């Protein structure tokens, strides 16, 4: 995914989630067609070989940076960020810890993930030490 393509895909991603959670039936119906970036993230995170595509890290960082509001940050936290922490803690754990420590916006996103018992040690303990308000 090229950078200009990624910028457009990120804008569409947030529009998709806004429509998906809309009170408007027509918005929700439109969202049923899916989202190209959401589909790509799902495939890249849940690959057959058990490792996530390395590009997922850059995309998740770009999504956190681009969130237009707290609701959108929740979409990222409950979606691809949570999936990275749950399914690929070994692969991305050190990066998750470092970014959570260094970046307040990323730390806020990390505080929005659930199921801390699914995050592998030692990363779970290290992350929870940085995000004391997070609960399992």
pTM reported for the whole predicted model: 0.84
20 falls within a domain: yes
On whether residue 136 sits in a domain, the answer given is no
Would you state the structure tokens that stand for residue 34, as one six-digit string? 């899916």
Q: What is the tally of structural domains in the chain?
A: 1
Range(s) of the domain holding residue 64: 3-130
Q: How many other C-beta atoms can be found within 10 angstroms of the C-beta atom of residue 62?
A: 18
CA distance 51 to 99: 20
Q: How confident is the model at residue 126 (pLDDT cuts 50, 70, 90)?
A: very high
Please check whether residue 135 lies inside any domain of the structure: no
* Residue 128 reports pLDDT greater than 70: yes
Element (H, E) at 62: helix 55-66
Number of Cβ atoms within 10 Å of the Cβ of 133 = 6
The answer to whether position 114 is within a domain reads yes
* CA gap 129, 46 in Å, rounded: 28
Higher pLDDT pick, 13 / 62? 62
């Amino acid at each position: 995914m090229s950078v200009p393509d990624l910028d457009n895909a990120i804008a569409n991603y947030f529009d998709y989630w806004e429509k998906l959670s809309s009170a408007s039936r027509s918005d929700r119906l439109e969202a049923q067609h899916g989202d190209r970036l959401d589909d790509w993230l799902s495939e890249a995170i849940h690959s057959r070989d058990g490792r996530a595509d390395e590009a997922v890290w850059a995309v998740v960082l770009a999504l956190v940076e681009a969130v237009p509001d707290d609701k959108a940050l929740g979409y990222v936290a409950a979606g691809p960020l949570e999936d990275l922490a749950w399914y690929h803690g070994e692969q991305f754990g050190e990066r998750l810890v470092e970014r959570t420590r260094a970046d307040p916006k990323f730390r806020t996103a990390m505080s929005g993930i659930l199921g801390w018992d699914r995050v592998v040690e030692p990363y779970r303990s290290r992350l929870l030490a940085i995000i004391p308000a997070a609960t399992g």
